[in-house]
Amino acid sequence: MVHCPECDTTLSAESEIDFVETESTTGFIAASKRFYVATCATCGATIGSGVAGAKA
């Protein structure tokens, strides 16, 4: 199990984490990268981030 470092909530279900698209930038092949952050659904603390590939 994973715990939120801010509020110590146990994060055991997908509904306890929010995935938010934060920014898109257009690249040289007319596609943009999607940047995401994962936040605790209880307190809103950012607990992870990543890039989810390109969208046309």
pLDDT in tens, 27-50: 555 556 677 788 888 998 988 888
Distance CA 3, CA 19 (A): 16
- CB 49, CB 18: distance < 8 Å: no
Helices (H), the chain: none
3-state secondary structure of 4: coil
Residues 6+ apart with CB under 8 A from 20: 36, 37, 39
pLDDT at 26 over 70: no
Percent of the chain with pLDDT over 70: 68
Distance CA 47, CA 56 (A): 28
